[in-house]
Amino acid sequence: MHPTTETAWLLVGTNLLLFLALAPLFDGIVRRVAARVQNRQGPPLWQPLYDLLKLLGKENIDAVGILPFRLAPLVAFASILCVVMILPVAGRATALTPYVDTLSLIYLLTLGGVAVLVGAFAGKNIFALIGASREMTTMIMVEPILFMILLLGVIKTGSLELTTVLYGTPAGDYGWSGLIMIVIALFALQAFVGRQPFDIAEAEQELLGGPFIEYSGPNYALFKYYMMIKQMFYAYLLVAVFVPLLHSGLLVVDLIAQMLLTAVVFLVIGLLAATHPRYRIDQALNYFAGLFVLALGAVAGALFG
């Protein structure tokens, strides 16, 4: 558990590379799966990356002209990169992991969400405002579920240390509370990644992209990249927390196994997205409330069970 400093710093780099490279690819999987469900050929798997490159080559239209509007995409992107850098991928702590604990992870994730809100509110566009208020409501309802998932790990392992919490849960026995939590995590998956039926904040047909409506070019690319990496993080989180590590002894083998599993999670995301309409915000809130109560029950079960 205590690798040399050089390897640990190498892991920071590996994580960054891994997420920056694979996040667009996984997004491509979702698009391809949707296409196949719809009897279409679908775009190349790397299409999301091409989209990003294209956006990066375009002009930034600064429709608002104030600093928070320009900074928001940077903050969002930076915060998700921080998450990636502290993440002990495949059970190996990076050089930065020891400086943080489970709560910091939640803070950093929330920071990204807040940056999206700041960008939207700075714009004053009515569609961005409605989108932001939906995003905010969704965050308030969904982040506690993430918190509960991690809290279960904290309770099971008795530690706040990130590596232990993430990888300790499957190692200790699941128990029925762990099983319930897996189900909850699966049901909340689409909300975590902001896909149908929970792409409510962006809702193209109602809000034309909601919080991001005023963004273009590189700024928009940063937001898009932020969302892809966030998606990959959540998909990976399920694998990390609920599927035991291979423990092959080789980092590469463990890593490949976990990434393959993450790809499977993306298959599920794609299938769910392609077979659901978008829920209305009030319907979504009822749904989240149900999940939240269940999650509370699972945590209580872990405490007293």
Residues that bind other proteins (CB under 8 A): 34, 37-40, 59, 61-65, 123-127, 130, 196-197, 199-200, 203-206, 208, 214, 274-283
Q: To the nearest whole angstrom, how small is the minimum distance from the Cβ of residue 109 to other proteins? A: 25
CB of residue 160 to other proteins, shortest distance in Å: 38
Handedness of CA 279, 285, 287, 292 (dihedral sign): positive
Distances (CA, A) of 128 to 69, 80, 119, 220: 12, 22, 9, 14
Question: What minimum distance in Å lies between the beta carbon of 219 and other proteins?
Answer: 13
Whole-Å CA distances, 284 to 209, 243, 245:
18, 28, 33
The Cα 130–Cα 106 span in angstroms is 25
- The interaxial angle of helices 126-157 and 281-304, nearest 10 deg, is 10
Q: Considering the complex, state which of residue 100 and residue 291 has its C-beta at the smaller distance from other proteins.
A: 291
CB of 77 to other proteins, least distance (A): 23
Structure-derived torsion over alpha carbons of residues 103, 172, 263, 160, reported in degrees to the nearest 10: 10
Burial class (CB in 10 A: 0-12, 13-18, 19+), 159: middle
Alpha helices for 158-216 (secondary structure H): 162-171, 175-193, 204-207
Tell me how far apart the alpha carbons of residues 152 and 81 are, in angstroms, rounded to a whole number. Answer: 25
Q: How far apart are CA 12 and CA 94, in angstroms?
A: 6
As measured in angstroms, the least distance from the Cβ of 207 to other proteins is 9
Q: Which is nearer to other proteins, 62 or 101 (CB)?
A: 62
Nearer to other proteins, 173 or 282 (CB): 282
Indicate the residue among 91 and 270 with the shorter CB distance to other proteins: 270
For residue 252, the minimal CB distance to other proteins (Å) is: 38
As given in the structure block, the two tokens for residue 214 are: 């005023």
In this complex, which beta carbon is closest to other proteins, that of residue 74 or of residue 280? 280
Q: Which one, 56 or 281, has the nearer CB to other proteins?
A: 281
